[in-house]
Structure 1
Amino acid sequence: MSQLLVEYPQVCAEPRNAWSDNPLARGADGVLRYGNLTPALTELLDIQVHTFAAREAVVEIGGPRLTYRELWYSASRIAGGLQEHGIGYGDRVAVRMPVGARWVQAFLGALLSGAVPVLVHDGLPDAVAERVIRDSCADYVLDGGGSAAGYRDALPDGAAFIDDGASLGELALLCYTSPGLELCPKGVELTNENLLSAVRSVVGALDLPTDGLRNLVLLPLSHASGCVDQLLPTFAVGGTVVLTPDPAAVAETLVAERIDMVSATPRIFDGLLPELAGLRLDRVRQVCSAGHRAELAATDPATSDAVATTLREIFPEARQWSVWGATETSGIGLAREDAATRDILGFAFGGTELALWGPEAETGHGELLCRGPHIAPRYWNDPQTTESRFTGTWFHTGNQVSIDPDGLVRRATPD
């Protein structure tokens, strides 16, 4: 049977699904793009630093509390230190550090130096981490050193420096796919346009406020879902990213830090339920559950429903969001709000457009394809995989789904 690619135009069943009114226009390549982005991620962050200088930018429970001014200054000194080590524009700097304020400083320091940060989860086995670092051709590695002292000493220091010469189409971040998804993680190139578009889409979809959002981020910062879809959008609205290296401190943190929003994966939320049992936290207004294409196959829908039900009891005033994406889509693509049906993945949002691939595509069933301004242009140093996973501007997610006439995407149900 022949393989068909069938596009599904953006359709909103109700006004609520048109979450963002940001200007999108179709480019010459057919992709919807935002028309008023800053030239680079560093420029957007620089604007926010000057706007919200005295606000807390990042809080590490049991560690540093940094305002935007303090974070930016410390990151610029790390950038200066990297420059003194010969790191410059376009070089790769691997960040393999424990979650915390220092991770954020290292990540931003790499960005400000003009280098491309390479995100390496500090929980990866050494052999896998070394393979990722080697594949990325990293010119410098920022790692944790295995102790608090080593963690601090791992960060270079020099005269404050900021490289602001990047442009929208240039490589800004190198993320690797989850080891559980492929035998060997693959590097995914994300440009400034990809990152800025994802940030704009998340801010619009979740309607993030600019009056001091406090976001407890439990997602790994080394993944697109944590870095691109939570850390950066929170900074984009002048909010505070709260990090808890110790999971046992989550319940206390939710109260003591006056948390407005909490984000994690369904698996992380499931593991936290015993600790949160019996709590009722009316202050929390948003709960964001992020899933990726590996979890789509691995997560039991019934378990996900049970977790969502319990979270509604703990956070009765919160809007519950489920956001689905892949590293190749900057971690975003589909979203749903408090859906009652367990097989629903959601509607496309931001500039995401959908298509189906396969012999039954015309009947609404097949492999899900996505395109948009947040879709990576290619894999790092891997033209063969790029060719196999992209059809023109369309990215093959590998997930079998159905799409309703109103644009709602559901998991494919087994025969």
Structure 2
Amino acid sequence: MSLAVVEIPAGAGWLRDERVTRRSGGILQYEGLEPCLAELLDRSALRFSNNVAAIDRSGRTVTYRELWAAAARVAGGLLDQGVGPADRVVVHYCNGFEWLRGFLGVVLAGAVPVLPDPTCSDTELDWIVSDSGAVLCLQDTLPDGLAFLDGGASPDELALLYYVRRWGGGMHGVELTNTNVLSTIEAVAHAMNLAGESARTVITAPLSTAVGCSVQLLPTLAFGGTVVASGSRGIRVPWRHPRASFPSAHCVRGWGVAETGGIGLLLPSECRKQHPRSVGVPFGGIEVALLGPGAETGVGELLCRGPSVARRYWNDPVATADTFSDAGWFRTGDQVYIDDDGFVYPVAVRVG
């Protein structure tokens, strides 16, 4: 980066989380995280075993005990097929119980779920399987075997691999470690107050995306809530005015991409009237900066770093060098304006 990076202080202490600390002047980190995603979800399943974990479009329900038993059998079936720890496995189903069982089965087997962009073609899916080095692609009948649960992984090991469209065409994989994923879960749980066990989250995005999986699904499961498929028993989420359909729900506006773990900015509900065009302020240990000739005046390319931000692209060193700096900054490509209170406003979004 030849231009100066101008760091922007977080505004007014919005959404401050005391568990986020800075270690030796480096990137902010969460304290006290579980070692890996599999251990966090397994503890949740044991604690909330009788809670309803998910409701599908037809209104069918599945408890945590039922879902984990089914996922553990998928994990056993994967083991029978030679899938081992850290192996990549593509999960390619539509939103539903089958996707949940497949995804969780891969996690419980100690493998890494590979989640393709939901708009990918058959040719692109074949390329994703090849590029990721996946040993298996789950898209038909799920494997079935004796229940199995892997012993776990370390915080810095790869946990999820999202394939997203790159600027200018094509796709590449976004590497998220266990620390990245668990940090997103903590950030969302804190901002949305999910610790009460009664959260019901309507899944409004494909589960193969960072918003659908890392932001909506995993934080809900981690705290014993229920994920509800959009369309369940008449539930419909419009593209505009969702608050009209769910007047008692906590509807939020924000910004995030797979490279930031799906999070980044969140607009507190009490700030919507004063900042109607803003996409929010940083939260969850995310820090922001601006890059460009107008950065000193609050206008420039948005940069992000934090505990949920990816470390690199999979198998793509050129794009990694262009997009991720040694200091941990991710170049979003989005042009924004940041006001004196730290609220971020979109100016222009780079398109491929």
Same fold (TM over 0.5): yes
8 Å CA contact retained: 2:117, 2:164: no
2:303 maps to 1:369 = yes
8 Å CA contact retained: 1:64, 1:101: no
2:149 maps to 1:162 = yes
**1:213 CA drift (Å):** 1.6
Partner-residue secondary structure (3-state), 1:230: helix
**1:41 CA drift (Å):** 0.8
Tell me what 2:282 maps to.
348
Map 1:1-400 → 2, pairs under 5 A: 3-12=3-12, 17=14, 19-28=15-24, 30-62=26-58, 64-121=60-117, 123-143=119-139, 145=140, 154-178=141-165, 181-244=167-230, 249=231, 252-253=234-235, 269-270=238-239, 307=240, 310-338=241-269, 339-340=272-273, 341-392=275-326, 393-400=328-335
Deviations 1:43-76 (A, max 9, x none): 1111111111011112212275221111111111
Deviations 1:223-282 (A, max 9, x none): 0000000100101110011124xxxx457247xxxxxxxxxxxxx732xxxxxxxxxxxx
8 Å CA contact retained: 1:167, 1:192: yes
8 Å CA contact retained: 2:3, 2:293: yes
Partner-residue secondary structure (3-state), 1:391: coil
Letter in 2 for 1:391: S
**1:20 CA drift (Å):** 4.5
Deviations 1:168-200 (A, max 9, x none): 111000001147x55111100000000000000
Partner-residue secondary structure (3-state), 2:133: coil
Letter in 2 for 1:119: L
Looking at structure 1, the residues matched to 348 and 51 of structure 2 have their Cα atoms a distance apart, in angstroms, of 47
Looking at structure 2, the residues matched to 132 and 404 of structure 1 have their Cα atoms a distance apart, in angstroms, of 40
The RMSD of aligned alpha carbons is: 2.1
1:182–1:117 distance in 2 versus 1, CA, 3 Å = farther
Partner-residue secondary structure (3-state), 1:335: strand
Letter in 1 for 2:83: I
Runs (4 or more) in structure 1 with deviation over 6 Å come to none
Letter in 2 for 1:399: D
Q: Structure 1 vs Structure 2: percent identity of aligned residues?
A: 44
1:413–1:223 distance in 2 versus 1, CA, 3 Å = closer
Give the unaligned 5+ runs of structure 1: 146-153, 255-267, 271-306
Map 1:392-411 → 2, pairs under 5 A: 392=326, 393-411=328-346
Letter in 1 for 2:291: W
Name whichever of 383-392 and 54-63 sits farther off: 54-63
Aligned length: 345
Tell me what 1:280 maps to.
none
8 Å CA contact retained: 1:20, 1:201: no
8 Å CA contact retained: 1:96, 1:121: no
**1:311 CA drift (Å):** 3.2
**1:29 CA drift (Å):** 6.3
Deviations 1:9-59 (A, max 9, x none): 2232xx6x2x24341111246100001100001111111111110111122
**1:333 CA drift (Å):** 0.2
TM-score w.r.t. length of structure 1: 0.79
8 Å CA contact retained: 2:38, 2:152: no
Partner-residue secondary structure (3-state), 1:186: strand
**1:342 CA drift (Å):** 4.7
8 Å CA contact retained: 1:24, 1:35: yes
Name whichever of 156-165 and 203-212 sits farther off: 203-212
Letter in 1 for 2:201: N
Looking at structure 2, the residues matched to 156 and 204 of structure 1 have their Cα atoms a distance apart, in angstroms, of 36
Partner-residue secondary structure (3-state), 1:227: helix
8 Å CA contact retained: 2:117, 2:163: no
1:239–1:8 distance in 2 versus 1, CA, 3 Å = same
1:123–1:412 distance in 2 versus 1, CA, 3 Å = closer
Name the structure with the higher helix share.
1
Deviations 1:79-114 (A, max 9, x none): 111111110011100001111011011001001111
Looking at structure 2, the residues matched to 350 and 136 of structure 1 have their Cα atoms a distance apart, in angstroms, of 29
Looking at structure 2, the residues matched to 243 and 371 of structure 1 have their Cα atoms a distance apart, in angstroms, of 31
8 Å CA contact retained: 2:278, 2:346: yes
1:160–1:251 distance in 2 versus 1, CA, 3 Å = closer
1:123–1:357 distance in 2 versus 1, CA, 3 Å = closer
Partner-residue secondary structure (3-state), 1:177: strand
8 Å CA contact retained: 2:184, 2:308: yes
TM-score w.r.t. length of structure 2: 0.92
Tell me what 1:258 maps to.
none
